[in-house]
Amino acid sequence: MNPAGFSEQVRRSWAVAKKDIRIYYIKGPVLIFGIFMPVFLFLAFLMGSRQLPLAFLVSGLVGMALFFTATAVSPAIFPWEGQAKTLERLASCPITVEAIVFGDMIASTLFGIGITLITVIIGLFLGLSLLHAITLCAGILLAACCFSAIGMLLAVPPTNTPSNIMMLSSLIKFPLVFISGIFIPLEQMPHWGMALAVCSPLTYFTDLVRYSFTGTNYFQVPFDIAALMVFTIVFTAGTMYLHKRTMPKRM
C-alpha cells in the first residue's frame, strides 16, 4: 500500500464522504429541507405560472432541486470543521487536501442525486412521461458532480464563520438560477440573456432535463454533456487548487 497513491487517497476520500453524510446530511433539518424544498417549489410553480406547460416547469424544477441541494451543505463544512477544530484533525491525517475536498464533493453529489430523484418521482406522479431515462440519469450524475464542485468553490474564502459563507453563497446561487433558462425558455431570451446563460452550467443541465421529458431542447445533447463535463473538470481542478492554498489559513 502506498498511502500517497491515487487509489488509496480516493479510498480515504470515501471515508470523509461517509463522515459528512453521517454528520451533516442525515440530520432532521437538512433532510426536511431537502425533501420539502422540491415539494414547495412544485406548488409554487403550479400555482404561479399557468401559461407555460408542466413539462417545461418540471425541467426547471429538477434543475433547481439538484442545483440547490448539491450546493446546500458543502460550502459550510469547512467553516464548521474549522470552528470545531476537527479540520485540524483531518489536516494531521495522511490525506491530501484534494482528497478531503473530493470526499466533501462525493457527499454533496450523493445528497443532490437522492433529492433530485425524489423530484423526478413527484413529476412522474403528476403524469409526466419520461422519454429519455438514460440521458436524464447521465445528466443528473454529471451535473451533481459539477454543482458539488461549485459548492466547494463557494467554500474557498477561508472564514470559519459558517453564516458568512452561507450568505455569500446565496448571493451567487440565486442570480445563477435566473440566467439558466429555468423561468424563461432559452428561445425567448434576449441576446444579453443568452450571453449570460451559456456561462452557467445549470443552463445545460436544464436543457438536458427538458430533452428527457419533452424531447425538445435548445442545444444538442452531446453539446450539453460536453459543456457540463468541461465545467465539472474546470471547477473541480479549480476548487482543489484553491483549497490547497487556503487550507493553512483556516488552522
Partner 1 sequence: MPDAIEVTDLTKIFGTTVAVDHVSFSVKEGEIFGFLGPNGAGKTTTTRMLAGVIPPDSGSAMILGHDIQREPVLAKQEFGVVPETSNAYTDLTAWQNLMLMGELYGISSARATERASNLLGALGLLERKDQKVQAYSKGMKQRLILAMALLHEPRLLFLDEPTSGLDVQSTQMILSLLRDLNRAGTTIFLTTHNMEEANRLCHRVGIIRSGRIVALDAPEKLKAAIDRLHRIEVSFGREIPAEALARLPGVLSADRIGDKWQITTENRDALIRLLVQFSREQGVAIVTLNTLAPSLDDAFLRLTREASL
List the x/- string, 94-113, binding to partner 1 by CB under 8 A: xxx-----------------
Establish if 246 lies at the interface with partner 1 (CB under 8 A).
no
95: left (phi over 0), alpha (psi -120 to 50) or beta: beta
| Angle in degrees, CA 73, 78, 84, rounded to 5 | 110
User: Considering CB under 8 A, how many residues would be counted as binding partner 1?
Assistant: 28
Stretch that binds partner 1, among 1-9, 134-142, 215-223, 227-235 (CB under 8 A): 1-9
| C-alpha cell at position 146 | 459539477
Closest CB to partner 1 among 96 and 132? 96
Residues belonging to the chain: 251
List the x/- string, 42-81, binding to partner 1 by CB under 8 A: ----------------------------------------
Stretch that binds partner 1, among 11-19, 113-121, 218-226, 232-240 (CB under 8 A): 11-19
Looking at residues 14 to 33 of the shown chain, list those that interact with partner 1 (rule: CB under 8 A). Answer: 14-16, 18-19, 22-23
Closest CB to partner 1 among 92 and 188? 92
Can you spell out the DSSP letters for 91-136? HTSS--HHHHHHHHHHHHHHHHHHHHHHHHHHHHHTT---S-HHHH
Q: Report yes or no: 146 and 235 within 8 Å, Cβ to Cβ.
A: yes
d(CA 213, CA 126): 13
d(CA 182, CA 201): 12
One-letter amino acid at 63 equals G
Establish if 91 lies at the interface with partner 1 (CB under 8 A).
yes
Among 46, 52, 86, 193, binds partner 1 (CB under 8 A): 86
- Binding positions for partner 1, rule: CB under 8 A: 1, 3-4, 8-9, 11-12, 14-16, 18-19, 22-23, 84-86, 88-96, 248, 251
